A and B are shown apart, each in its own frame.
Chain A
């Protein structure tokens, strides 16, 4: 009964020191572990910046060596950050529209129907990846068939099985996006590429490089994260059929359950910032031009804020989690991600299959001082109708 469990490896360090240390490719990171510290640092963009010259450095592990395109608005600080964000905010709220939700429901329902017919399902590659890829066609407003190309790339955009960062894999994505931007220039449509190419920014149009920066963020930010949430959700309901039954009987709890599962899974462990001037974080010195990280996964288990932090409390009423980040740079794709999880739970609750875990290989992140399970490299399950 513990395959779906995600332990909290940060507890001791969070209580004793408030920070952890990670040596990332010779560029150390001080990890902030307490919720209040994480939120404050996320808010203080002048002291802890996301922009700056070293593109890719705020990501941990650093992508400095494999990327020279700035992700937008993610690697830009206010006030420009807000101007870029204003261009895309409404677009990324489209998952709230009825038509979008109906299409997403149809996609997820057909995938679940399919896995219900199979003897055994490898959830990461046969459910989570196709689900994430197909849903992305809605977010970009492009034809459904395009998902097949992305499914073919495998589960990670930047990572291979044997290496945390893979420049060749990243290049496939960059070249693909270049080609799609050229296509949209030649034949504009109603997709995200065309909308961005037509957007006005500071009295001019966005450059191709800026459009590419937004698109890379959209592809990369919502891939591993959504795949982990979907896979962890299946594992959780396999071991907690009573929870699925409850959500079937009390669908009004699904909204809270989405927030709680996202808190518990925290699909993005942490995100970095670069310190702009000598300062302190949680009473520890942080030198100018060093890196800190905002550890969402640790903050979300902070017992000074969350009661029973290591339990999934489906109807948790006060849940000030930071799984989608916090403040200026909070996740742009959160509306889409929430809608995916809400729909998945709704469809699963409706079908109420019995889910048995046949085999599970955990995906453990190596954070130096900490080893954190973030999901699964593979998860074989069997879905069975109970009625």
Chain B
């Protein structure tokens, strides 16, 4: 099981566990506020935007071009922005902290 911590816009800290699927799916299954995942994870809605804690950015990696195009026009974009539907859950992410962007 991989432990993921979300910090919502209201500064609520929630740690949840999962072992498959994407970070977005994990967040939606645990009703993390601000992660809607409207499109189910095909990179079309940008309702799963998170800021990755800087020390984890290398493990998570940069967004693809298509994801980047989506992020470019979303609110609160930083160099640590990712759409969580595009981050598959994996062992190396254990302990990661993600701030919900909107």
Interface check B59, CB cutoff 8 A = no
- Please choose the segment from A8-16, A123-131, A253-261 that sits at the chain B interface, where 4 or more of its residues have CB less than 8 A away: A253-261
- Please choose the segment from A24-32, A107-115, A135-143, A311-319 that sits at the chain B interface, where 4 or more of its residues have CB less than 8 A away: A311-319
Interface check B44, CB cutoff 8 A = yes
Tell me the chain B residues, 16-41 only, with Cβ under 8 Å from chain A: 36, 38-41
Whether B38 pairs with A319 at a CB distance below 8 angstroms is no
Whether A256 pairs with B38 at a CB distance below 8 angstroms is no
A327 to B39, CA, bound (A): 14
Chain B: which residue is nearest A300 at the CB level?
A: B44
Tell me the chain A residues, 323-369 only, with Cβ under 8 Å from chain B: 324, 326-327, 330, 334-335, 338
Whether A319 pairs with B69 at a CB distance below 8 angstroms is no
Chain A: which residue is nearest B65 at the CB level?
A: A305
Interface check B42, CB cutoff 8 A = yes
Whether B42 pairs with A320 at a CB distance below 8 angstroms is yes
Return chain A residues, CB-CB under 8 Å to B69: 36, 39, 320
Whether A321 pairs with B44 at a CB distance below 8 angstroms is yes
Q: A305-B66, A320-B66 are in contact. Are A327 and B42 (CB under 8 A)?
A: no
Return chain A residues, CB-CB under 8 Å to B40: 255-256, 258-259
A337 to B8, CA, bound (A): 28
Interface check A40, CB cutoff 8 A = yes
**B: number of interface residues (CB 8 Å):** 14
Return chain B residues, CB-CB under 8 Å to A327: 73
Q: In angstroms, how far is the closest chain B Cβ from the Cβ of A81? A: 14
**A: number of interface residues (CB 8 Å):** 24
Please classify the interface of chain A as helix (H, G, I), strand (E, B), loop, or mixed, using the class held by over half of its residues.
helix
Return chain A residues, CB-CB under 8 Å to B70: 320
Interface check A43, CB cutoff 8 A = yes
Q: A256-B40, A256-B42 are in contact. Are A318 and B66 (CB under 8 A)?
A: yes
Whether A319 pairs with B44 at a CB distance below 8 angstroms is yes
Interface string of A239-269 (1 = CB under 8 A from B): 0000000000000000110110000000000
A8 to B42, CA, bound (A): 22
Interface check B43, CB cutoff 8 A = yes
A40 to B73, CA, bound (A): 7
Chain B: which residue is nearest A326 at the CB level?
A: B73
Q: Which residues of B contact A (CB under 8 A)?
A: 36, 38-45, 64, 66, 69-70, 73
Would you list 16 pairs from A and B whose C-beta atoms are within 8 A, ordered by A residue?
A36-B69, A39-B73, A43-B73, A255-B40, A255-B41, A256-B41, A318-B64, A320-B42, A320-B43, A320-B69, A320-B70, A321-B44, A326-B73, A330-B45, A334-B38, A335-B38
